[in-house]
Amino acid sequence: MAARDASKISVDDLTNKQAKTEHARLQVEITEHDKRYYQNDAPTVSDAEYDALRKRYSDIEQHFPDLRTLESLTLKVGAAPTGRFAKVRHAVPMLSLDNAFSEEDVTKFVERIRRFLKLAEDEPLAFTAEAKIDGLSMSLRYEAGALAVAATRGDGAEGEDVTPNIKTLKDVPQRLKGKSIPAICEVRGEVYMTKPDFLALNKRQAEAGKELYINPRNTAAGSLRQKDAGITASRPLHFFAYAWGQMSEMPADTQSGMLKWFAKCGFITNPLTKVCRSAEELLAFHREIGLARAKLDYDIDGVVYKVDRLDWQERLGFVSRSPRWAVAHKFPAEKATTVVRDIVIQVGRTGALTPIAKLEPVTVGGVVVQNATLHNADEIARLDVRISETPGKPGDTVVIQRAGDVIPQVLEVVLEKRPKGLKPYAFPKTCPCPLKTPVVREINSAGEEGVRFRCSGEFACPFQKTEHLKHFVSRRAFDIDGLGEKQIDYFFEQGWIKEPADIFTLEARNAKLKLEEIDGYGDTSVRNLFAAIRTRREISLERFIYALGIRHVGETTAYELSRGYGTWTAFHDAALAVAKGDEAVRAEMDALDQIGDTVIDALGAYFKETHNRGIVERLTAQVKILDADRPASNSAVTGKTVVFTGALEKMTRDEAKAMAKRLGAKPSGSVSAKTDYLVAGPDVQTSSKLVKAREAGVTVLTEDEWFELVGKK
């Protein structure tokens, strides 16, 4: 019997091994969702689903604190800037908010504030309650009263410079009004598009025969992040001010006072704001706004509560990526009932099969919905969603939920409306691609049965081929200008690019292909494309490894592998050895920092496939893979494997690992025969790592001895 799927186990019941596996899975999934939301303005899960993933991730770190590192998502906000615009470093980070989903959560939030501030029950505690706009966060920096820089949130620490675009918005003053304006003043708020403006824009799109936009939030974000500010100017965008960043002096001492000051300076602030003095008042305001939500001209997804006094905000401070003094009380998702026409299977880059319910069109929250995700085979079985085997006949009636303006999900089947004769849905055993490749259920490194079914065809599967190619040319991989998703789809359909190596032979084949004669191309665009391809014939080792699209090998993992092996030859030889079952090489790879069984199994599976090896060989014949940047080569620990254990006194565990990397050492999380040093904190008298190190003859150092060894006394 297969082991239980860790994603379905309560955090309280997870073992250490299950927690590590689940934490790593969530890190990958959340990072991908952040990229889609913050960089691409195209989220694929609802706000509620995303919030649940974030909460589980945070809960795991609270129960298993050793899993929190400098790379932890609880220390990060959003996603890195896309690279299309100049970067702007925020003087004060743009953090996100914790969420409250129930009235009980709000009551507990107020109680926590009182406990932290040690307030008596009868001592006044005021909050500002503000409608939470569903738009794009923006920071506007004014110097001597004039707008100097406008930047997106980005990853919270660094955003994108969109100053020319922001200057086209009528709601954003070019110069602040009034007297005694602080020399430095960063006003923060939300760029949004109203519902009537969105519908009018889509009407013009339809009349012009162009693709329709999905929702106001994504349309506002996409409109603002145009390279041509003229396009932004043509779009009806608005701005609400509600927060601030760096201020050379504060013009008010309360949150509500700052909002009034923004209005005096020329900004529009949300009229749906109220000062409340108890949890009961906050909840009453939330219910009031919820009832008015459908009649508003703009989208909101909740109400934000903030401690009103700024000196108390300062005392309360922050918890990782969120302020302790504020919380977002989300609205429940919108629901509707409709009929399932069919279930279709979509195949992603990694071969994951995702079932999508095709629905009778239904309006949910003002949006016409025709598709809903069923997530995976287990979810279909749990819901028992059924379709008719007779074309054109209706299937089950289902309740769907839409939250966050993304593809909805099926919540339940209305059994009393089920047509007679419907049979349970049989999840396909072969991929829907022309090859009909067998479908396999994933098994993780802990031997646990996963929820995903995958096509076993890898690059042989046409669906995966195009997705792999799109990943290969993406910005963080080979980053080839002029070769985007549409071009990849077209070139693949024409048979001109079937695998990565074909990209680098395209120019040589153009005498026959004649790309410049294709509609939408020309001599200049073709020359630019070939020039972009030529510049990518040299690629860093970490980018090359990442570009291969190996499951579980993201940017961080690719970086660690490149640093660990240094050259393509060394990494390639190790991967081939792992594929052949070489346990010694596997143990050596396992000793690398942040590399574990899941990654090693994925590498072994990838290089075990003859088809994949052929693709890699043909590709490496076309490009030059640069050796990894090597850290300091003259330290006493260069090339040595170091494990840190226990509570260190002079530095955190993460700081210790970072130091080891700078000195050219390879930090590891486990002791093996390949370990050179174990650095133990003073609290460690006996531990499994210490016992194993002594048994293996590993040199054990105190923290002071480590500093002496590396010359950092």
DSSP-based three-state secondary structure for 365: coil
Whether 541-626 and 6-75 are alike in CATH topology: the answer is: no
CB 85 within 8 A of CB 161: yes
Q: Give me the pLDDT at residue 655, please.
A: 67
Residue for token pair 């303006």: 405
DSSP-based three-state secondary structure for 602: helix
CB 211 within 8 A of CB 160: no
Whether residue 572 is predicted with pLDDT greater than 90 in this model: the reply is yes
457-536 has CATH 3.40.920.10 classification:
no
Amino acid code (one letter) for 293: R
- Using CA atoms, how far apart are residues 214 and 222, in angstroms rounded to an integer? 11
Highest mean pLDDT among 132-146, 423-437, 620-634, 652-666: 132-146
DSSP-based three-state secondary structure for 225: coil
- Using CA atoms, how far apart are residues 342 and 394, in angstroms rounded to an integer? 8
Give 4's contacts (C-beta < 8 A, 6+ positions apart).
Answer: 448
Positions marked active-site: 132
Whether residue 406 is predicted with pLDDT greater than 60 in this model: the reply is no
The alpha carbon of residue 352 and the mean position of all alpha carbons in its chain are separated, in whole angstroms, by 18
Q: What is the pLDDT of residues 151-200, one digit of tens each?
A: 998 878 888 899 998 999 999 999 999 888 999 999 999 999 988 888 88
Q: What is the mean pLDDT of the chain?
A: 84
Assign a CATH topology to domain 541-626: DNA polymerase; domain 1 (1.10.150)
Whether residue 83 is predicted with pLDDT greater than 70 in this model: the reply is no
Whether residue 254 is predicted with pLDDT greater than 80 in this model: the reply is yes
Whether residue 54 is predicted with pLDDT greater than 90 in this model: the reply is no
- For residue 346, list its beta bridge partners: 354
pTM for the whole structure? 0.47
The H or E element spanning position 1 is none
- Using CA atoms, how far apart are residues 534 and 623, in angstroms rounded to an integer? 9
Domain boundaries defined on the chain:
6-75, 99-330, 457-536, 541-626, 641-709
Q: What is the pLDDT of residues 430-468, one digit of tens each?
A: 988 877 888 888 765 455 677 788 887 766 677 888 888
Whether residue 1 is predicted with pLDDT greater than 50 in this model: the reply is no
How many CA atoms lie within 13 Å of 503's alpha carbon, on the beta-carbon side?
A: 29
Per-residue confidence at 74, pLDDT binned at 50, 70, 90? low
Q: How far apart are the first and last CA of the chain?
A: 55
What CATH number does the domain located at 6-75 have?
1.10.287.610
Q: Give me the pLDDT at residue 190, please.
A: 94
- Of the candidate CATH numbers 3.40.50.300, 3.40.50.720, 1.25.60.10, 3.40.50.10190, the domain formed by 641-709 belongs to 3.40.50.10190
Whether residue 403 is predicted with pLDDT greater than 70 in this model: the reply is no
CB 665 within 8 A of CB 644: no
Give 277's contacts (C-beta < 8 A, 6+ positions apart).
Answer: 124, 125, 126, 127
- Using CA atoms, how far apart are residues 85 and 107, in angstroms rounded to an integer? 42
Per the document, the length of the chain is 713
- Using CA atoms, how far apart are residues 121 and 438, in angstroms rounded to an integer? 65
What is the token pair recorded at 253?
């001492």
Torsion of CA 686, 688, 692, 694, to 10 degrees: -10
- Mean pLDDT value of segment 95-99: 86
- Using CA atoms, how far apart are residues 57 and 76, in angstroms rounded to an integer? 13
- 582 exposed, middle or buried (CB, 10 Å; 0-12, 13-18, 19+)? middle
Nearest alpha-carbon partner for 589 in 571, 607, 605: 571
The strands making up 677-680's β-sheet, listed across from edge to edge, are 666-668, 641-645, 677-680, 699-701
Residue for token pair 């054109």: 392
Q: What is the pLDDT of residues 476-497, one digit of tens each?
A: 889 888 888 888 988 998 999 9
CB 344 within 8 A of CB 385: no
Q: Give me the pLDDT at residue 395, please.
A: 93
What CATH number does the domain located at 99-330 have?
3.30.470.30
- Using CA atoms, how far apart are residues 114 and 109, in angstroms rounded to an integer? 9
Instruction: Count other C-beta atoms under 10 Å from residue 663's C-beta.
Output: 21
Whether residue 627 is predicted with pLDDT greater than 60 in this model: the reply is yes
What is the token pair recorded at 195?
């519902």
CB 410 within 8 A of CB 372: yes
Q: What are the E-state strand segments in 35-183? A: 87-89, 99-100, 127-133, 136-143, 146-152, 158-160
Per-residue confidence at 604, pLDDT binned at 50, 70, 90? very high
Residue for token pair 């995976």: 376
Number of H helices, E strands in the chain: 25, 26
Q: Give me the pLDDT at residue 405, please.
A: 44
